[in-house]
Amino acid sequence: MDIRSLHKEGHSIKAIARYTGRSRNTVRRVLREAGPTPFKKPERHSRLDPFKTYLRERWESCGLSAVRLLPEIQAMGYTGSISTLRRYVLSLKPERERLRKLTVRFETPPGKQAQADWAYGGRFPDPAGRSFPVYVFVLVLSFSRRLYIEFTSSMKLPALVRCHQNAFQFFGGWTQEILYDNMKQVRLGPSDLNPQFADFARHYGFAVKTHRIRRPRTKGKVERMVHYVKDAFLNERSFGSRGAGHQWDLR
């Protein structure tokens, strides 16, 4: 703007160069241009660029995490970091989804609380091509985050009780209270616990707590672990055999 203003006032190119501290070639170039040249951000290339189309398709079809996607693109030649991959995967998620998950962190002292959940893991094919349902029981100690996972083929109350007993044996004890969602095996209504499960809890001496309806983030520690099992462990895998009892041959 200074160069054009001085030029309109009748100053020579040599004088304009002296006043502005620019070279005469720069002054001539500015005067030849129709307007000021807008700033262009330098184009930066990422090692991830050749894989973005593949990553988007995989994430949209399966919702795989960066941890699962990393070895896939490394086999295709990716040499960048997982941090770059995580930032890209995060950019694929809608902003409203990230905001929906924001909540206040709540911590409990050792031995106070555990969080339990029972989720449908999906249907999986066996070598014969037959599909069968897999359910995931997860119990996590709120203070230490120590984790117990068991896969079942049933979501009936006896299976839930057995999973608890196996978890108690694994941990060597149990907490003062266990937090659940409002599954019918635990709670029949807003003020009524399932009497059979309540009797089981009284026998072991722990309090049964449930979160508010439509507020699963209250037990976010176990929710996160359920997501981990479904994504990092079960997603896109198949079972070689169902095995004996509750032992699973997972491929």
Residue 8's region, left for phi above 0, alpha for psi from -120 to 50, else beta, is alpha
The pTM (predicted TM-score) of the whole model is 0.54
Tally of residues, the chain? 251
What confidence category does residue 103 fall into, taking pLDDT thresholds of 50, 70 and 90? Answer: low
Helices marked H in the chain: 2-8, 13-20, 24-32, 52-62, 66-74, 82-92, 95-100, 157-171, 195-204, 220-228
Name the residue range of residue 15's domain: 2-32
Q: What is the pLDDT of residues 191-222, one digit of tens each?
A: 788 999 999 999 999 999 887 655 555 556 77
Task: Judge if 179 and 234 occupy the same domain.
Answer: yes
Task: Judge if 209 and 125 occupy the same domain.
Answer: yes
Residue type, 217: R
Task: Judge if 181 and 234 occupy the same domain.
Answer: yes
Q: Calculate the dihedral angle through the C-alpha atoms of 76, 81, 84, 88, rounding to the nearest 10 degrees.
A: 30
Task: Judge if 92 and 121 occupy the same domain.
Answer: no
Inside any domain, residue 147: yes
Task: Judge if 129 and 227 occupy the same domain.
Answer: yes
Task: Judge if 224 and 158 occupy the same domain.
Answer: yes
State the Cα–Cα distance between residues 175 and 204, nearest whole angstrom.
10
Say which residue, 235 or 144, is predicted with more confidence: 144
Please state the domain count of the chain: 3
Q: What is the pLDDT of residues 166-180, one digit of tens each?
A: 999 999 999 999 998
Residue 83: alpha-carbon gap to chain centroid? 14
